[in-house]
Amino acid sequence: MQEIIGVRFKKLGKIYFFDPNGMKFEKGQSAIVETARGLELGEVVVANRMMDQEKITSALKKAIRVANAKDQKTFEENDKKAKEAFKVCEEKIAKHNLEMKLIDVEYTFDSSKLLFYFTADSRIDFRELVKDLASVYKTRIELRQIGVRDEVKMLGGFGICGRELCCCNHLSDFNPVSIKMAKEQGLSLNPTKISGSCGRLMCCLKHEQEVYDEKLSRLPNVGSIVKTKEGEGVVDDVQILKEILTVKIDKDGDITRIQVPLSEVTIIKNARKQDRKKSSDEVDEKELKQLEEGFKRGEDI
């Protein structure tokens, strides 16, 4: 077992573990810690606690101290200087005619490094840009190309649900999201309806998939034979979230359809899993694969 604290450097950013170095830290405090890029100020999100050595993948760097008023002032001054550097960098980008979009700029706490985050459709030769910036700021310059999901997380925004985007509100990591999830949830496979502000598949598909997986494991597939109070019939449709089945019953050639809760049916024979009746919004497996690949490449489909 080893004593650790958890520190986060950005809102909803990844939590990093540090050796508290014999000091006591409380959740919500700011702390100065040693990192691979120098001293940094971060928020303590996990107070002192013991952790199994097996869960610690590498040697822990040490916490230096609880941040004081002077440290907070330095942090605020760095933030102010970073905003000024943002404007200068945008001018330099225009000067060099580089096809890149500047997203954010930040100083390390000790001002030993100035980091510029940008997005671009392809690789960018920014060597001359770095030279220009280094001549202005006389410190180590680092440019980092980030993805569109990271861009939206940094900039913030609201989803079609009217709430703050998941990546800006509670997501610390991006989990894989697939077209298959949208299909299993019965959503339209129109990219404009299932993609978020970043142009990628909406993260909420992943949030809800666990519920759908649990319900689908209990619900009969379309085509299954079930027994109801009205007699035996074939499942014609399934409302997954409500757990209501539409059952087609044939009584001497007179076909009727009834809706019945899952709790009131007995599954006699479960059919193989199959796609629902194909509508104008649905696609076949080949088209599904093309959609998936298109989303991965970030294409407009």
Which residues, 6+ apart, have CB-to-CB distance to 71 below 8 Å?
30, 32, 41, 109
Which of 214, 192, 196 has the alpha carbon at shortest distance from 205?
196
Looking at residues 88-100, what average pLDDT do you find?
A: 93
Does the pLDDT value for residue 276 go beyond 70?
Answer: no
- Whether the predicted pLDDT of 264 surpasses 70: yes
Spatial contact of 240 and 219, defined as CB atoms under 8 Å apart: yes
Tell me the pLDDT tens digit for each residue of 51-66: 888 888 778 999 999 9
**pLDDT tops 50 at residue 200:** yes
Domain locations in the chain as residue ranges: 2-67, 73-146, 175-215+281-297, 222-269
Tokens of residue 268, six digits: 């006699």
The per-residue pLDDT for range 149-165, each reduced to its tens digit, is: 888 887 788 888 888 88
* CA angle (15, 18, 23) in 5-degree steps: 125
Q: Which CATH number does 222-269 carry?
A: 2.30.30
- Cα–Cα distance measured from residue 157 to residue 82, given in angstroms and rounded to the nearest whole number: 22
- Point out the least confidently predicted range of 167-171, 220-224, 247-251: 167-171
Q: What is the value of pTM for the model shown?
A: 0.66
Quickly state the pLDDT bin for 136 (edges 50, 70, 90): very high
Residue whose token pair is 């000067």 = 95
CATH number listed for the domain at residues 73-146:
3.30.300
Question: In 10 A of CB 109, how many CB atoms?
Answer: 22
Give the pair of three-digit tokens for residue 178.
């697939």
Q: Residue 174 carries which side chain, given as an amino acid letter?
A: F
Q: Roughly how many angstroms between the first and final C-alpha of the chain, as a whole number? A: 51
Tracing tokens 């920014």 back to the chain, one arrives at 126
CA separation for the pair 113, 115 (Å, rounded): 6
* Stretch among 105-109, 118-122, 291-295 having the lowest mean pLDDT: 291-295
